[in-house]
Amino acid sequence: MASPTVKLNSGYEMPLVGFGLWKVENNTADTVYNAIKAGYRLLDGACDYGNEKECGEGVARAIKDGLVKREELFIVSKLWQTFHEGDKVEPITRRQLSDWGIGYFDLFLIHFPVALEYVDPSVRYPPSWSAPGEKPRWSKATTQETWTAMEGLVEKGLAKSIGVANFQSQLLFDVLRYAKITPASLQVEIHPYYQQRDLVKMAQNEGIFVTAYSSFGPTGFIECNMDEAKNAKPLMEHEVIKAIADKVGKTPAQVLLRWATQRGLAVIPKTYREPIMKQNLDCVGWDIPQEGMDEIAKLEMNLKFNKPTNYFEAENLYIFG
């Protein structure tokens, strides 16, 4: 089963359903290989995930075995916060491409709209939030400086499309003021507990395609020891989601993914289990009844899990507050 595609404002086709690579830490190359074998053509990675070299090994093996051609894949990666200075963007992008073993990214995103002090890859890579033994510190790089450097990646053929992640409306409008290349995609946390309807509407009105991550809500954040995640009811166990799943003959996970794709959003679920990989791809081509969509809309809690402040000791919170 292959995912349908959508056309980005850059003119390129992007699969609607992709495979997320955050926290893919065990047998990463095998997981990527199996995801491709299952039918995934979009792979969503990042420098910060610390597994790009292994992801590239999985891609190389899949190509060698004839499962896929490079041009049939849509590989996404992201610029980490410590590389926002204009002269740091291209070198780190080339480093990431080398790790993947490819010549270009299909989509390259600014990971977070917060510029941090540069960390030399020879000192720490992936760089985390700061150099070893140091506290996170601001960089003086502006979003405009970073976006201009991102546009240079397109001009040099290092990225076919560029976009942003974890931006809100105000920052999107700011980028649109000076962008020569409009962001092709916005990737943000979206699930029934955090639906971001206004942001989605704004991005769609500007022709920016939205990808939802963390479609299963708190599930991916419990292991990060976040109180919000531990205290929230798992969405796949929620009676509303389970009732819809029973009605349409799908799993709760498929319902959560279809809720997003039915809203016109791309999704990037992750699993190590091959049968579930194929199951997660089946989140298009059928619909949740409108009454089901209305019930899910009532689950909105404005409950966001991926907050950088959750990763820091209290003394560092002022940076991201």
Binding-site residues for substrate: 111
Other Cβ atoms closer than 10 A to 178: 11
Type of residue numbered 227: D
- What's the helix, strand, coil split of the chain in %, to 5? 45, 15, 40
Active-site position among 33, 49, 193, 213: 49
For every residue of 111-130, DSSP letters joined together read --S--B----TTT-SS-TTS
Burial class (CB in 10 A: 0-12, 13-18, 19+), 255: buried
Nearest alpha carbon to residue 43 among 274, 224, 307, 266: 266
Cα 31 to Cα 116: distance, rounded to the nearest angstrom: 31
Give the number of other Cβ atoms within 10 Å of residue 143's Cβ.
18
Residues 6+ apart with CB under 8 A from 289: 244, 247, 248
Contacts 24+ apart (CB under 8 A), 63-72: 67/33, 67/36, 67/37, 68/36, 68/41, 70/102, 72/41
CB of 122 closer than 8 Å to CB of 305: no
Strands (E), the chain: 5-7, 13-15, 19-20, 42-44, 74-79, 105-110, 159-165, 185-189, 209-213, 266-267
3-state secondary structure of 60: helix
* Contact (Cβ atoms closer than 8 angstroms) between residue 10 and residue 185: no
Is 49 a residue of the active site? yes
| Active site positions, annotated | 49
